Amino acid sequence: MTEHDALVVFQDKKIRRIWHEHEWYFSVVDVVEALTDSPSPRQYWGVLKGRETQLLTSCLQLKLPSADGKYYATDCANTKNMFRIIQSIPSPKAEPFKQWLAQVGYERIEEIQNPELAQARMKELYKTKGYSDDWIEKRVRGIAVRQELTDEWDKRGVKKDREYAILTNEISKATFGKTVDEYKKFKGLEKENLRDHMDDLELIFTMLGEASTTKITKSRNAQGFVETKAAARKGGTIAGDARRKLELESRSNVVSPDNYLSEPEIQKRKRLQGKQT
């Protein structure tokens, strides 16, 4: 699952979700906020489940990202059980939210049966955010490369979250000379996704580092965290060596402090192309 899969939006309200046991589970607190506009959705949910204790049986505690970037156990419910919870929330938004919730679940089933739909929806999302077709193609390809790598890590006993983050930092450090957090700080980012603020070359070298790591991991049949960490460092080094050679020949840096916070990628691309003509 990509980082964009972890969030959906209902009427400008962000709803966190996680794919668990072949179906979507949604953050109950986020749904409460979306339906009630309560300034204290956690308290609202606390009162609701205190009054109707059977609602707790509809929830699972699953780890979701919080505003501080860390993951915390959060009350989550699947589509069926979320309908039950919604019945207990008096809100004029309830019916449209039910329709939206059903559609979100249906789209995921469609995407499993036809992965091209997932890519098409992802491309459309990036277009609406102001990215060019050239950038989108690289970004989507990078997501596929990343997925192949994490699939290998999963098969080889690497633990998700913390160990994934350490291995990703190994690749990033060897490729760009910066960990992910250092790179984000360099670009002036906070909660934003780093790769959504990379230019074409940064995306290409990210892919090279991760694709090289996948290749080395497979060829060495690396198992467990220690062996996959060594493969990650080697894969990143291959990309890092290529980056330095390009920087030497082009006399310009690949690693850039630029971001797309104030100017969309497609506008920045056109502006820079205009200067070159």
- Distance from C-alpha of 257 to C-alpha of 198, rounded to nearest angstrom: 9
Residue 107: per-residue pLDDT: 60
Residue 230: per-residue pLDDT: 97
Structure tokens at 226: 């220690």
Lowest pLDDT segment from 27-31, 78-82, 96-100, 152-156: 96-100
- Distance from C-alpha of 138 to C-alpha of 208, rounded to nearest angstrom: 12
Q: Is the pLDDT of residue 222 over 70?
A: yes
Structure tokens at 93: 């938004």
Residue 104: per-residue pLDDT: 67
Lowest pLDDT segment from 72-81, 109-118, 260-269: 109-118
**Is-above-0.85 flag for pTM?**
no
Q: Is the pLDDT of residue 71 over 60?
A: yes
- What residues form DSSP beta bridges with 9? 14
Residue 52: per-residue pLDDT: 85
Of 196, 65, 199, 202, residue with least CA distance to 129: 196
Cβ atoms of residues 64 and 110 within 8 Å: no
Average pLDDT over the chain, rounded to whole?
A: 87
Residue 242: per-residue pLDDT: 98
Q: Is the pLDDT of residue 103 over 90?
A: no
Structure tokens at 274: 């205009």
Q: Is the pLDDT of residue 201 over 80?
A: yes
pLDDT tier, 1 (very low <50, low <70, confident <90, very high otherwise): very low
Of 211, 161, 25, 163, residue with least CA distance to 104: 25
- Distance from C-alpha of 152 to C-alpha of 107, rounded to nearest angstrom: 27
Phi, psi of 24 (to 5 degrees): -75, 140
Radius of gyration (C-alpha) of the chain in whole angstroms: 21
Cβ atoms of residues 8 and 102 within 8 Å: no
Cβ atoms of residues 258 and 187 within 8 Å: yes
More confident residue, 260 or 102: 260
Helices 162-176, 200-219: crossing angle, 10 deg rounding? 120
pLDDT tier, 158 (very low <50, low <70, confident <90, very high otherwise): very high
